[in-house]
Amino acid sequence: MSLGADRSYKMKLRDVENAFKYRRIPYPKRSVELIALLAISCTFFLFMHTNKLNSRLKEMEVKLQPSEFSALGLTSNHVSGHDAGKHDDINTLHGTYQYLKSTGQILQLNAQDLNNTPKADIDVLFFNRVPKTGSMQLIELMRQLGKVHDYEVEKDPQNGGVLPILELPEQSDMIENIVNLEDGTVFASHVNYLNFTKNEQPRPIYINMVRDPVDRVVSWYYYIRAPWIFVPGRRRSNREMPNPKWVNTEYDQCVLSGEKVCTYIEGSLLEHVGDHRRQILFFCGHDEFKCTPFNSRLALQIAKLNVEREYAVVGTWEHTNETLAVLEAYVPRYFADASKMYYSGLHAEKQNDNPMKPHISQEILDMVRRNFTREIEFYQFCRQRLHKQYLALKLNDLRRVDKSLIQLEAANDMAIRN
């Protein structure tokens, strides 16, 4: 090929390349407008979705707090004064989280697995309330919620006093009465755990409250000595007024003098109706041999098993925020918006508060605690279970946020590619 021909070929090749490089393909005007409209719409909806996710992320406090604990939404607002300065204690919310994390159990924590409400056979809420745990406060809150959610609260009057141990026929009668209640009823009674399954009856939804066992026995000691309690009671039963010495003896004196009512001997049996040192008893049942010995290992194990298998929620006012949140999530039919109702002030004021109860020295409390080892263990077990249920809810929320973030990132990637 000659030099001139080669140059002519290269020029033609360049002309063809330029033609492809600067080609113009005409589009109809309306098609361009439609594409622009679609792009604007996608941008708008993506912005709205991002805004919604940002709001949820703020609520969860993700990335706004320095620690993993805060990332779960567990700020100082969720740690009660009872737990202040004890974050490493496994019985606190923070301590339970750290323990579950260190043992790897946090990865398997799931709110659905900890929810016994779906196991109930009837739509009746049974609150077998433990005395001196703030049960009246919960009853009044449920009465207010019942007006909103359309349910009734029936409180057993128990005119004969608190009789936790029932004979078999009495147990059967109470179970039958509860089973025959209308759907959407709350029944509250000071009575031990009743085994509906053993009696071949459908199970209700079980809830209860617990309290530090030593604080509880001190509270009971002064409660029954309060004039506004014993005076009406004695008049109704035509009994004599109590000995002034009995009324005026302080708890510290009672413990130090070794009086029987303030002596807590392991294995001692239930002596009288007013012997309320056993919180475990209300979760163990009515077997006198297994459940009544004080501070018993067997009663403790039975009570733990019943809580795990039967109770939707066992809360405590010592962890108010967690208790209300767990009740809302695990028993929504009866407790939806419980936190809002509680903090709005529409619930009743604290019931049975005794302003005459004096301060008890720490030395006396420590002395008494040494005899309440298994009662304390049960109380701590219930607290840890409550914390696990609460943490499971927060983790579920966090997982939903993570899923939304993944979807958001995928949508952003798709928008960038397009």
Catalytic residues: 190
Name the H helices within 266-372: 281-284, 288-291, 297-310, 320-330, 332-335, 338-344, 362-369
Q: Which residues contact 206 (CB under 8 A, 6 or more apart)?
A: 116, 120, 126, 128, 193, 310, 311, 312
User: For strand 185-188 and strand 311-315, is the pairing parallel, antiparallel, or unpaired?
Assistant: unpaired
Name the H helices within 72-193: 93-102, 135-149, 168-179
What are the backbone dihedrals phi and psi of residue 152, each rounded to the nearest 5 degrees, phi first?
-105, 150
- Chain centroid to Cα 250, Å, comes to 35
Q: How far apart are CA 159 and CA 267, in angstroms?
A: 29
Q: How far apart are CA 116 and CA 113, in angstroms?
A: 8
Q: Which residues contact 88 (CB under 8 A, 6 or more apart)?
A: 94, 95, 98
Is the CB of residue 339 less than 8 Å from the CB of residue 325? yes
Q: What is the CA radius of gyration of the chain?
A: 32
User: For strand 205-209 and strand 124-127, is the pairing parallel, antiparallel, or unpaired?
Assistant: parallel
Residue 246, both tokens = 């009995």
Grouping H, G, I as helix, E, B as strand and the rest as coil, residue 315 is strand
**Whose CA is closest to 194, among 216, 167, 213?**
167
| 3-class secondary structure per residue, 7-41 | HHHHHHHHHHHHHHHCCCCCCCHHHHHHHHHHHHH
